[in-house]
Amino acid sequence: MKMTFRWYGSDMEKITLSQIRQIPGVSGIVGCLMDVPVGEVWPRAQIAALKEEVERSGLSLEVIESVNIHDDIKAGLPSRDGYIENYRQTIRNLARCGINVICYNFMPVFDWVKSDLDYPLPDGSRTLAFEREKIPDDPEALLARYSSGTKGFTLPGWEPERLAHLRTLFDLYREVDETRLRDNLIYFLKAIMPVCEECDVRMAIHPDDPPYSLFGLPRIIKNRDDLDWLCRSVDTVYNGITLCTGSIAEDPENDVYAILEEFTRRDRIHFAHVRNIRYMHPDIEGNKDFYEAPHLSSEGSLDMFRIVSALHDNGFDGYIRPDHGRMIWQETGRPGYGLFDRALGVAYINGLWEALDKCGGK
């Protein structure tokens, strides 16, 4: 297992590489180029500069999150081939700079959706939360709420220049149901796999967050069967998964432990996002509201020991990162991506891993 930490770049956030370097056990950064518009080729010089900056601080850069997919590819428009060609070139450029894993998602229009970016917990910390009834019917209203709640940060997948045309984006998907979206994902994967094989770069799809439909948009990476379909449809290790425990478990019907075990054994999990969530109303049938809890098992609904064991005991040797953290100790910044709580997450996951290594784990 290689412990990593997501970092948006020195001009995008105030957390520094030297701070990250001081979190025990973190060996690498999960990086990105936030200023390349979706669909364009990531310039090699810019990737190399990022790599150099990260390495100068004693960390490595082997994972990218995310190289986002242009909506024309997801919607299957004729113009997709040009964007796919760009994506292939981006993979080559990343490979030349030593990148092994690319995280991406295939969610139409939006990346993750939450109802609150600043949900207060009894201990005074703030976290991300999802309450179904707080999600407006009109996505424009959600967009307005996000713009005021993000304190000036651009959330990945919520680029203002793209979402300025929200209606047009929604129109693109009018005819795209789950079947069409699946076909479009396979078309994309088949086109890029030869480049991945040649460059030894593993693709790792992030599950839909939340793993069910919102605003009538199709969702195709929601559960065990979807992941199984993905792996079988393009049957190579280069077609892999970012297993995000929080996202998968947002549907309480998903058995996150069994999914981790199965796909680790199948060698398809190249990257793991490890976080805990707490279901708010587990007693109400069908209710899926949750907030993102501290990583510690007793603070949430997931058993983190079982989660880490599922990876450890099945030979996981990919990249791990703590997922979103709460805002604690007066920290302010990008929602979900403070320094302190994520550092606590790293320490805790490392502690579980060490215990498994020393006693009990296979």
74 binds ligand DNO (CB under 6 A): no
Contact criterion met (CB below 8 Å) for 220 and 185: yes
Closer CB to ligand DNO, residue 111 or residue 159?
Answer: 111
Task: At 296, give phi and psi (nearest 5°).
Answer: -50, 135
Residue 193 Cα distances to 82, 87, 88, 100, 187, angstroms? 16, 11, 9, 14, 10
Residue (332 or 354) nearer to ligand DNO, CB? 332
Q: Minimum distance from CB of 209 to Mn ion (Å)? A: 7
Compose the 253-282 pattern: x for residues touching ligand DNO by CB under 6 A, - for all others.
Answer: --------------------x---------
| Chain center to CA of 261 | 19
Q: Which helix (H) or strand (E) holds 240?
A: strand 239-244
CB proximity list for 93: less than 8 A, separation 6 or greater: 41, 42, 43, 44, 47
Does the annotation mark 273 as catalytic?
yes
Measured from the CB atom, is 182 or 273 closer to Mn ion? 273
Judged by beta carbon distances under 5 to 8 A according to partner kind, the member of ligand DNO, Mn ion, none in contact with residue 111 is ligand DNO
Kindly tell me which residue out of 51, 74, 80, 273 binds Mn ion, with binding defined by CB under 5 A: 273
Out of 244, 279, 289, 341, the active site residue is: 244
Please pick, from the candidates 103, 129, 189, 244, the single residue that binds Mn ion as defined by CB under 5 A.
244
Helices (H), the chain: 17-21, 44-56, 71-75, 80-96, 139-149, 160-163, 166-172, 178-199, 224-233, 245-249, 256-265, 304-312, 340-358
Task: Select the residue interacting with ligand DNO from 75, 103, 308, 352 (CB under 6 A).
Answer: 103
Residue carrying structure tokens 């064991």:
309
The three-class DSSP label of residue 293 is: strand
Q: Which of 13, 40, 55, 111 binds ligand DNO (CB under 6 A)?
A: 111
Q: Applying CB under 6 A, what is the total number of residues that bind ligand DNO?
A: 14
| CA distances (Å), origin 210, targets 243, 244, 269, 291 | 13, 11, 19, 12
- Cβ neighbours of 247 (radius 10 Å): 25
CA proximity to 26, closest of 53, 6, 4, 54: 4
End-to-end CA distance of the chain: 14
155 is a site residue for Mn ion (CB under 5 A) = no
Of the listed 83, 208, 324, 341, which one is catalytic?
A: 324
- Looking at the Cβ atoms of 111 and 303, the one nearer to ligand DNO is 111
Judged by CB under 6 A, does residue 342 bind ligand DNO? no
Residue nearest to Mn ion as judged by C-beta position: 244
Residue 65 as a binder of ligand DNO (CB under 6 A): the answer is yes
Stretch of 55-63, 100-108, 174-182, 294-302 contacting ligand DNO, by CB under 6 A: 100-108
Q: Which of 156, 300, 318, 338: binder of ligand DNO (CB under 6 A)? A: 156
Site of interaction with Mn ion (CB under 5 A): 244, 273, 323
Site of interaction with ligand DNO (CB under 6 A): 65-66, 103-105, 111-112, 156-157, 206, 244, 273, 324, 336
Question: Which residues are catalytic, by number?
Answer: 206, 244, 273, 323-324, 337
